[in-house]
Amino acid sequence: MSERIEQLIAPYAEQVALLDTIPGVDRRAAEVMLAEIGPDMGQFPSAAHLASWAGVCPGNNESAGEHRSGRTRKGPEWLGGCLSEVAKAASRTKGTYLNAQYHRLRGRRGPGKATMAVAHSVLVIADHVLDQGVAYQELGEDYFQQRHAAERHQRQLVRQLERLGHKVTLEPIEAA
């Protein structure tokens, strides 16, 4: 069976290699993703359309301030299972953006929703990788801290200390 899969996937070896650069995605997962999605991302107008088709887009059903089930819809069975496994594997990779995303969300939303959020991110990354034909560029585990300016973080910490009843005076440390 593996030999037959190798024969069929051979024309798409470049796309499989590109998908394999994403954390958590191994060769078999890349083959499943490519078989389910296809190599041409032109059929989906955006990554959001792909996520919706795959059934991993975030659900939000609210009316008149009342929240109902935000459950995601069913997508392709094999792709959903593959993305779930990839997301769990990506959440265990050390020093990666996907690991940091999982751990940020797990505390607030729980492990299931965090896994689906990472699966959504993996699918969006796969869309960009296949559409642009470039390997995945790791953002790093400190991406969430780095995207905010240092001054903003400093102001937030000062405000927190002032709310606790402290007077805060900041003096920069001289370079040695």
The predicted-structure confidence for 136-176, as pLDDT tens digits, reads as follows: 999 888 887 777 777 788 888 999 999 999 998 888 888 76
pLDDT attached to residue 70: 66
Question: Which of 80, 160, 150, 73 is closest to 122 using CA atoms?
Answer: 80
**pLDDT tens per residue, range 148-159:** 777 788 888 999
- DSSP character for 134? -
Distances from the Cα of 107 to the Cα of 29, 90, 101, 114, angstroms: 27, 17, 11, 9
pLDDT attached to residue 52: 87
When pLDDT is averaged across residues 68-89 and rounded to a whole number, the result is 84
pLDDT attached to residue 122: 94
- DSSP character for 22? S
Q: What's the one-letter identity of residue 89?
A: A
Indicate the pTM of the whole model. 0.77
CA gap 125, 16 in Å, rounded: 14
pLDDT attached to residue 89: 95
The kind and range of the H/E element at 66 are strand 66-67
Return the number of other C-beta atoms located less than 10 Å from residue 72's C-beta.
Answer: 19
Straight-line distance from the first to the last Cα atom of the chain, in angstroms, rounded to the nearest whole number: 64
The kind and range of the H/E element at 152 are helix 150-163
Domain ranges of the chain: 2-61+69-147
- DSSP character for 94? T
At 120, list the tokens: 């959504």
Residues in the chain: 176
**pLDDT tens per residue, range 102-111:** 999 999 889 9
What helix, strand, coil percent values describe the chain, rounded to 5?
60, 0, 35
Rounded to the nearest 5°, which phi and psi values hold at 46? Answer: -155, 170
